[in-house]
Amino acid sequence: MTIHNYPCIVVCCCILASMTVSAQDKIPVKFGKVTPADFVVTAGGLDSSADAVVVADYGTSEFVGNVKGWFTLEFHHTRRIRILKRAGFDAANITIPLFTAGNDVEKVDGLHASTYTLENGKVVETKLDSKSIFTDKISKNWIEEKFTFPALKEGAILEYSYTQTSPFLKNLQPWEFQGEYPCLWSEYQVDMPDFFKYVTLSQGYLPFKVNTRDTRQVNFHMTEPGGADRDEQFTFDDNVVTHRWVMSNVPALKEEPFTTTIDNYVSKIEFQLSAYKFPNMPYEDKMGSWISLSEGLLKDDDFGGDLFRNNSWLDDDMKTITKGATGNLEKARQIYAYVRDNFTCTSHGSLWLSNPLKTVYKNKNGSEADLNLLLTAMLIHEKIQADPVILSTRANGFTHPLYPLLSRFNYVITRATIDSTVYSLDASESWLAFGHLPSRCYNGGARVLNKERPYAAVLDADSMMEGKTTLVFITNDDKEGLAGHYQSLPGYVESCDLRESLKKEHGEKEYMKKLQTGYSGDAVVSNLMLDSLKLPDQPLGVEYDFKLTPDTTTDIYYFNPMMGEAHKENPFKAAERTYPVEMPYTMDETYTMNMEIPKGYMVDELPKSAKVLFNSDEGFFEYLIIKDDQRIQFRSRIKLMKANYKPEDYNTLRDFFAYVVKKQSEQIVFKKIK
């Protein structure tokens, strides 16, 4: 874009503000000068096990006029790292992502990097050779500039700096204050002219040491290229706001179990361009709205352009696909099954079509976006109300509830409404049933792209109940052993996982081997039965027989009534957690065992029954066991009615599972009758 759209505007030359701050609010190192005293820097009280520590991380962004009559973003970045252990050498691998579109590309200038070591009390500097800087093309729009520091050794100090220029005003650099390693000082400063409006998005659980704004008048000047004529120069005054954010003694962020993606909880700041507001010019919206985003996607040939066209090329095949269907629900089921069972998904995590829908249909393969947009078009062809839905998978991170930030989305599913009932569909997995989604889709906010009324939808893991029922019967056989029968109805997610693993891991024989290794001693598993294995719309039942042989050479026989179904370790090991626990679903597991007391034995010790509540009414663990002269009856049940827990619930959740693990590990002690 050139200045021709803004005749009274002119060039900007932004200058970093000089701010009055106290000494303790200043960056604690002098970049480019390393002394022997700097080598005593450690991770301080942050984490004694750290492999490396970021001593200081400093960045600034400013808007600068360019020779094209517009503005360039300049991002200046300097960082110092101290390697504490050999395992911290990964911190020496630096990647700088750069965006490109058409003839415009982000560039890196003035890259300098040095490794400093202490040799006989003297600081030795080894500079990075420019020939050791590599550029990789990652995709159509992204390249990466990479390098690795030379002369690495434990205790070394690494320091690098560069300037990144960008013609894309939407790409105002974000800043992460927190990462894989502890950071003693992290500072970011942005000079933002009033005529560019950005939304600032902040996330994380750590407080700022400094969070200030300073406004001043700046003289902007710009050169407008004149072509064959003389260049024109313009000047005017306007306000610039300097934002300064600092965090100090930032702990490393470690990923714990039951985390969708750690990126959701990194303390960071991001920016989204929302509008232009130049002097004497009307306000120009640049972010748009959810309505405009929906309209744009549905018209885009790389997304929804084909959905509402005639699509007569489907006419003949749709008659065959829907043959015999007596209503829209049955039609939808047959269309869904056709796409699911006859197309191969080549990738997951796409938002755009890789080919026109007609080509996808002909090739019988494509990404999840290809398949689900095709499914949507086929349903619409049959006059069934269907809309594409965009979402962000759990591993991709959260979308934003207020702002239409398309870059946050990475997945497409279909939503069909039939007789006032809504069905969410994903035809990209062979083991998925009609009306079900893979657990990766349950990540909160999604957007339904409807021509008349686009709207928000919520796909929340709290709405996913994973129930499982297991029954075990054990009787005495005629050879001083025990004969048992196992019968289980797994929850939907476990059933999907089992169907997928059986398909990938060579079928039932390998599964039998896994079952066998799950038992100790001389156990023998036989007569495996898998009910409805190839019918994803039906519950998957698992049954088999087994034989157990007590060790008759000892007087004591230890027996765990959970039979390998116990929770063997607490998934929550960390002493504390600063971000939420995100389970993929709620749970209701019931395990029941009915057992004859082994011949020639008596019960010497029996675990005690117990029941504990979780947060009064959010769940419970029940452990019930009784016996008579011939039998033992046992039941264990865990029920949690929430999948997502706030950080303040973490200790309670950890203690709850610690008790479950301890209790389910208890054994019945049988003693020989003499």
Q: In this model, does residue 10 exceed pLDDT 50?
A: no
- Segment 74-95 shows an average pLDDT of 96
Residues 418 and 482 in one domain: no
Q: Which of 58-67, 178-187, 225-234, 276-285 has the highest mean pLDDT?
A: 178-187
In the block, tokens 């079509």 appear at: 353
Phi and psi angles of residue 142, each rounded to the nearest 5 degrees, phi first: -135, 135
Q: Does the pLDDT of residue 1 top 60, yes or no?
A: no
pLDDT of residue 13: 33
Q: Which of 440, 459, 478 is the last residue of a domain?
A: 459
Do 24 and 135 meet the contact criterion of CB atoms below 8 Å apart? no
What is d(CA 406, CA 392) in angstroms, rounded to the nearest whole number? 10
Beta strand 93-101 pairing with 71-83: unpaired
Beta bridge partners of residue 505, listed in sequence order: none
In a domain, 659, yes or no: yes
Residue 18: its pLDDT value, please? 34
Q: State which of 459, 486, 519 marks the end of a domain.
A: 459
Q: Cβ(616)–Cβ(552) under 8 Å? A: no
Q: How many domains does the chain have?
A: 3
Q: Could you tell me if 492 and 469 are in contact, meaning their C-beta atoms sit under 8 angstroms apart?
A: no
Read off the CATH number of the domain in which 416 is found.
3.10.620.30
Q: Is residue 34 part of a domain?
A: no
pLDDT tens across 21-51, in order?
455 688 989 999 999 999 986 555 567 789 9
> Same structural domain for residues 531 and 655?
yes
4: pLDDT strictly greater than 90: no
Q: Find, among 149, 74, 91, 165, the residue nearest to 117 by Cα.
A: 149
Angle of the 328-342 helix axis to the 368-381 helix axis, nearest 10: 150
Whether 101 and 211 map to the same domain: the answer is: yes
What b/e sequence results for 440-477 when a residue is b if at least 16 CB atoms lie within 10 Å of its CB, and e otherwise?
bbbbbbbbbbbeeebeebebebeebebbbebebebebe
35 occurs within a structural domain:
no
Q: Rounded mean pLDDT of 49-76?
A: 92
* Spatial CA neighbour of 149 closest among 84, 95, 111, 94: 94
CATH number for the domain harbouring residue 558: 2.60.120.1130
Nearest one of 671, 668, 674 to 474, comparing CA atoms: 668
For the chain, report the end-to-end CA distance as a whole number of angstroms.
95
The larger pLDDT score, comparing residue 226 to residue 475, is at 475
Whether 338 shows a pLDDT value over 90: the answer reads yes
Return the pLDDT at 227: 67
Stated pTM of the model: 0.88
Which among 343, 395, 388 has a CA at the least distance from the CA of 364? 343
Q: What is the mean pLDDT of residues 445-454?
A: 94
Q: Are 343 and 354 in contact (CB under 8 A)?
A: no
If asked whether residues 412 and 495 sit together in one domain, one would say: no
Domain assignment present for residue 61? The answer is yes
Residue-level pLDDT at 42: 58
Give residue-wise pLDDT tens across range 498-545: 988 888 766 788 888 888 887 776 788 999 999 988 888 888 999 999
Range of the domain at 544: 465-672
Residue 67: what pLDDT? 79
Distance of alpha carbon 189 from alpha carbon 48, whole angstroms = 30
What local confidence, expressed as pLDDT, does residue 17 receive?
A: 33
According to the 3-state scheme, what is the secondary structure of 400-422?
A: CCCCCCHHHCCEEEEEEEECCEE
Residue 15: per-residue pLDDT: 28
The answer on pLDDT for 8 being more than 80 is no
Mean pLDDT calculated for residue range 82-86: 95
Query: Shortest CA distance to 99 belongs to which of 75, 64, 122, 115?
Result: 75
Distances (CA, A) of 111 to 3, 106, 160, 486: 31, 14, 7, 65
Boundary (domain end) residue, out of 415, 433, 459: 459
Q: What's the pLDDT tens digit per position in 251-263? A: 999 899 999 999 9
Confidence of residue 309 (pLDDT cuts 50, 70, 90): confident
> DSSP string spanning 77-108?
EEEEEEE-SGGGGGGGEEEEEEEEETTEE-EE
- Given this model, what pLDDT does residue 198 score? 95
Neighbouring residues of 392: CB distance < 8 A, sequence distance ≥ 6:
398, 399, 408, 409, 410, 411, 443, 445
pLDDT averaged over the chain? 91
Q: Looking at the predicted structure, is the pLDDT value of residue 102 above 70?
A: yes
92 contacts 113 by C-beta, under 8 angstroms: no
Q: Which of 656, 655, 647 is nearest to 581 (CA)?
A: 647
Residue 197 in any domain: the answer is yes
Note whether 268 and 324 are same-domain residues.
no
Which tokens is 635 given? 């039941």
